[in-house]
């Protein structure tokens, strides 16, 4: 009887805990193996470059809009050439889209950077050839 109770105890208590330990080990391996760390690092590098490009695109649009507005300084918009009114509207719509996509990518970047399994980006030295560390987050979001 004592052996049966010991067997039942092992089956009920110890066997499931062995599965949890095995699962935890497998999960840790999957999340921190070199190929996965490289994939995550490359995601951050790509996302950071895309965010920098979006900021540069916004500046280009702002320069274009400012230039057009300077040409028509003191003139009511209704008196502008039709093509210029249309172009201004197009640029304003495009810059709004770039800002919205920037905010979405920045939110994804910030969320991923704050997760435990991405914490490797917050410690250690920079990889060879890197000049500056990846930003820990992209904020503030663009509201205007």
Whether the link from the prior residue into 93 is cis, omega within 30° of 0, is no
Task: State how far the Cα of 108 lies from the Cα of 88, in Å rounded to an integer.
Answer: 30
pTM of the predicted model as reported, rounded to 2 decimal places? 0.70
Q: Is the pLDDT of residue 62 over 90?
A: yes
Residues 64 and 90 sit within 8 Å (Cβ to Cβ): no
User: For the chain, how far is it from start to end, CA to CA, in angstroms?
Assistant: 76
118 vs 39: which has the higher pLDDT: 39
Tokens of 140: 């503030």
What separation in angstroms does the CA of 53 have from each of 48, 49, 58? 9, 6, 9
Q: Is the pLDDT of residue 123 over 60?
A: no
DSSP state of 115: S
Delimit the domains of the chain by residue range. Answer: 38-121+132-144
102 vs 132: which has the higher pLDDT: 102
Task: State how far the Cα of 56 lies from the Cα of 50, in Å rounded to an integer.
Answer: 10
pLDDT band at 125 (very low <50, low <70, confident <90, very high): low
């Amino acid at each position: 009887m004592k052996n049966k109770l010991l067997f039942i105890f092992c089956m009920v208590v110890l066997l499931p805990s062995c599965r949890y330990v095995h699962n935890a080990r497998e999960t840790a391996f999957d999340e921190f193996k070199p190929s996965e760390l490289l994939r995550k690092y490359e995601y951050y590098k790509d996302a950071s470059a895309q965010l920098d490009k979006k900021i540069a695109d916004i500046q280009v649009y702002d320069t274009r809009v400012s230039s057009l507005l300077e040409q028509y300084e003191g003139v009511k918009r209704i008196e502008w050439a039709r093509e210029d009114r249309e172009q201004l509207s197009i640029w304003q719509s495009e810059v709004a889209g770039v800002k919205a996509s920037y905010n979405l990518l920045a939110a994804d970047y910030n969320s991923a950077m704050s997760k435990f399994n991405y914490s490797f980006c917050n410690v250690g030295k920079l990889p060879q050839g890197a000049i500056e560390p990846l930003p820990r987050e992209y904020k503030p979001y663009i509201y205007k």
